[in-house]
């Protein structure tokens, strides 16, 4: 049995100490949250408190980049949470498993760890990012004449948010006729595997060109289709109007260029096809976002040597380029979720091939915009161990193509970098053209369509997913690019569009998850921004210390400030980080802790606490997985 010892380690510019007084009230709170007896033992904890990054250290806003079981052939409930977590790295105690199972059966809505991370529902529309497949695939239907003159429900976008809205509408109104219009050639599919699982698949270059047939292997060894539903699930567009029992149809390779909100009319376009006008009853705008592209790499993008990864077609192009014998170096640009996950996945795929992955970022460490400094440094070290070369504090300012097809780049420090292939993963943005053409209001800073609490932009027009800028009654106006948000906001928009019940407000706090190889994964909810003060609670036996931990509580002035090298040497295995705005917890990050999101949601809902050390114990960071 462990002794009752509390080890407190404070890490910040001021090295402010955290109170570690035990409070009986929190013991009762923990019992209520877990619905299970509290353990009698107390365990060692390590507490880290951090303010915003030091001056001169880039932090920036988080670079957000964003599965569901199959429904039946008839109307089915909306997409449920992602599938169970990956295999535990160590055995969970039976009691912990029982607690998680009880919470699930009790109806607690929480999202568990998966290998399907969020990349978001973001179609690729940027010049220079189109694949050969996209150019060869004709739109479906082939002619605008195949469209009905009128549809009850028009869903703009063929991604996760539209699919979730369709499921909600069809569940509430089985007789409804729903038309999804998306620019991609694939049926609606899950995007999380794009930065992880897919890169473990052999022959990906060829298989990704057949997205409707593409499968991937989950953490439990089972294979799963990338698309949410096969083609047989949908009604052909040309038969939608005549369907007696309603149905859902998907127009692929088409885009909605404009809505006439007053006349309830949409203009559809496709390359090489005559525009088509279509009347609708109610419309959802969920076109996703498009990748940001760097002007310094415009020539490389035009030559196909600099790619973006926002869809299956881009994955096919990237996989084909990786197989080229002349390739020696892949440069992944960006320090956010997509760039970091992709760097880890590509390094694993290329291991032993003599090819290397270089990640170039303006930040001081990967994911520095979202993680506290000490965790960002831990992530950097793990990436380097996985074979990724990191170039931090650098940006590409200029590039040229050499005679052999490689890309010669000049970095902001003046250093050169040569690569045969570049992947731009420097963030995404909402295309403002549809909103401008439709005379819909957008947010000047956050981007996206402004919607009210019911996700409504105008009469009979809703928005969801990446493109919606919504008002969070707890955290303020936000725009979120996470898979979880796409699922839940799309479902709520569909519910409100069906209008079988009074409209509901969007109060969901979306979560996201990320994996950096088999030994590190994390989940988070709320506002996860490294510019906010943070308090981290880690199990002392899960931290490789460097002499900063202590069992006593000296005055802050008695301890010198931590040196950067000291924090870089630490390895953090399990813990929870609270992000604070004033006295309120506005974000919770679970580092290698899974099946605890239901606790994080309740902590975020309550917001203010006297002692975050006691709150940290609710997550049982001492329990090995």
Nearest CA to 47 among 363, 302, 350, 374? 374
The pLDDT tens digits for 579-615 are 999 999 999 999 999 889 999 999 999 999 999 999 9
- Per-residue pLDDT band at 131 (split at 50, 70, 90): very low
Bridging pattern class, strands 276-285 and 150-156: parallel
Question: Given this model, what pLDDT does residue 244 score?
Answer: 86
Query: Length of the chain in residues, anyone?
Result: 625
DSSP for 91-138? PPPHHHHHHHHHHHHTT-------S-----S----STT---HHHHHSP
Q: How far apart are CA 391 and CA 439, in angstroms?
A: 43
Judge whether 583 and 556 are in contact, CB under 8 Å: no
The pLDDT tens digits for 1-30 are 333 323 333 333 333 333 333 334 434 444
The pLDDT tens digits for 348-373 are 999 999 999 999 999 999 999 999 99
Judge whether 465 and 157 are in contact, CB under 8 Å: yes
DSSP for 254-318? -EEEEEETTTTEEEEE-TTS--EEEEEEEEEE----EE---GGGHHHHHTTSEEE-SSHHHHHHH
Question: Given this model, what pLDDT does residue 589 score?
Answer: 96
**Nearest 5°: phi and psi at 185?**
-80, -15
The pTM for the full model equals: 0.76
3-state secondary structure of 212: helix
Q: Is the dihedral of CA 293, 183, 458, 174 positive or negative?
A: negative
Decide if pLDDT at 484 tops 90.
yes
Domains of the chain with bracketed CATH = 1-51+68-111+532-625 (no CATH), 137-190+227-290+429-498 (3.50.50.60), 291-428 (3.50.50.60)
- Per-residue pLDDT band at 153 (split at 50, 70, 90): very high
For 475-491, what is the mean pLDDT? 92
Bridging pattern class, strands 223-225 and 247-252: unpaired
For residues 375-388, one letter each, b for 16 or more C-beta atoms within 10 angstroms of the residue's C-beta and e for the rest, the string is bbbbbbebbeebbb
For 498-511, what is the mean pLDDT? 92
Question: Given this model, what pLDDT does residue 1 score?
Answer: 33
Decide if pLDDT at 416 tops 50.
yes
What 8-state DSSP symbol labels residue 610? S
Q: Is the dihedral of CA 290, 292, 294, 300 positive or negative?
A: negative
**Residues pairing with 462 in the sheet:** 284, 456
- Per-residue pLDDT band at 542 (split at 50, 70, 90): low
- Per-residue pLDDT band at 569 (split at 50, 70, 90): low
The pLDDT tens digits for 293-351 are 999 999 999 999 999 999 999 999 999 999 999 999 999 999 999 999 999 999 999 99
């Amino acid at each position: 049995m462990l002794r009752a010892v509390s080890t407190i380690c404070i890490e910040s510019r001021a090295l402010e100490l955290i109170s570690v007084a035990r409070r009986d009230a929190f013991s009762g709170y923990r019992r209520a949250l877990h619905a299970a007896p509290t353990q009698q033992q107390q365990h060692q904890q390590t507490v880290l408190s951090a303010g915003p990054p030091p001056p001169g250290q880039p932090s920036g806003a988080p670079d957000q980049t964003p599965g569901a079981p199959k429904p039946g052939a008839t109307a089915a409930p909306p997409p449920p949470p992602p599938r169970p977590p990956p295999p535990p790295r160590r055995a969970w105690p039976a009691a912990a498993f029982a607690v998680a199972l009880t919470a699930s059966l009790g109806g607690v809505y929480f999202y568990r760890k998966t290998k399907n991370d969020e990349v978001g529902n973001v179609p690729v529309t940027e010049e220079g990012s189109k694949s050969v497949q996209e150019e060869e695939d004709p739109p479906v239907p082939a002619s605008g004449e195949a469209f009905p003159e009128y549809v009850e429900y028009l869903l703009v976008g063929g991604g996760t948010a539209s699919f979730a809205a369709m499921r909600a509408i069809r569940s509430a109104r089985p007789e409804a006729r729903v038309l999804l219009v998306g620019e991609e050639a694939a049926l609606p599919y899950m995007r999380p595997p794009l930065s992880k699982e897919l890169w473990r698949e052999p022959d990906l270059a060829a298989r990704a060109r057949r997205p409707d047939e593409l499968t991937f292997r989950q953490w439990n060894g089972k294979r799963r289709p990338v698309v949410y539903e096969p083609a047989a699930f949908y009604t052909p567009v040309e038969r939608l109007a005549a369907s007696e029992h309603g149905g859902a149809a998907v127009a692929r390779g088409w885009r909605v260029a404009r809505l006439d909100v007053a006349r309830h009319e949409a203009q559809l376009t496709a390359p090489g096809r005559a525009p088509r006008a279509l009347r609708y009853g109610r419309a959802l705008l969920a076109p996703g976002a498009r990748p940001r592209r760097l002007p310094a790499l415009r020539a490389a993008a035009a030559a196909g040597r600099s790619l973006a990864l926002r869809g299956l077609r881009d994955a096919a192009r990237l996989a084909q380029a990786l197989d080229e014998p002349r390739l020696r170096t892949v440069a992944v640009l960006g320090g956010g979720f997509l760039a970091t996950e992709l760097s880890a996945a590509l390094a694993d795929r290329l291991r032993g091939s003599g090819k290397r992955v270089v990640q170039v970022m303006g930040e001081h460490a990967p994911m520095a915009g979202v993680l506290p400094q000490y965790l960002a440094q831990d992530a950097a070290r793990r990436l380097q161990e996985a074979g990724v070369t990191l170039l931090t504090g650098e940006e590409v300012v200029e590039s040229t193509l050499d005679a052999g097809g490689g890309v010669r780049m000049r970095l902001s420090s003046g250093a050169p970098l040569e690569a045969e292939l570049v992947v731009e993963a420097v963030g995404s943005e909402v295309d403002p053209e549809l909103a401008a053409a439709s005379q819909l209001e957008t947010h000047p800073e956050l981007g996206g369509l402004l919607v009210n609490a019911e996700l409504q932009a105008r009469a009979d027009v809703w928005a969801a997913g990446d493109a919606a800028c919504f008002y969070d009654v707890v955290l303020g106006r936000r725009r979120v690019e996470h898979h979880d948000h796409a699922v839940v906001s799309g479902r709520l928009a569909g519910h409100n569009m069906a209008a079988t019940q009074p409209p509901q407000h969007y109060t969901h706090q979306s979560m996201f998850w990320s994996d950096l190889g088999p030994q590190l994964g994390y989940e988070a909810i709320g506002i996860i921004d490294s510019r906010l003060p943070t308090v981290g609670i880690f199990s002392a036996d899960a931290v490789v210390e460097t002499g900063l931990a202590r069992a006593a509580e000296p005055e802050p002035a008695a301890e010198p400030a931590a040196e950067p090298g000291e924090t870089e040497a630490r390895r953090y295995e399990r813990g929870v980080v609270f992000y604070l705005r004033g006295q309120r917890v506005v974000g919770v990050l679970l580092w290698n802790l899974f099946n605890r999101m239901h606790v994080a949601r309740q902590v975020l809902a309550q917001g203010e606490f006297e002692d975050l050390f006691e709150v940290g114990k609710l997550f049982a960071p001492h329990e090995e997985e």
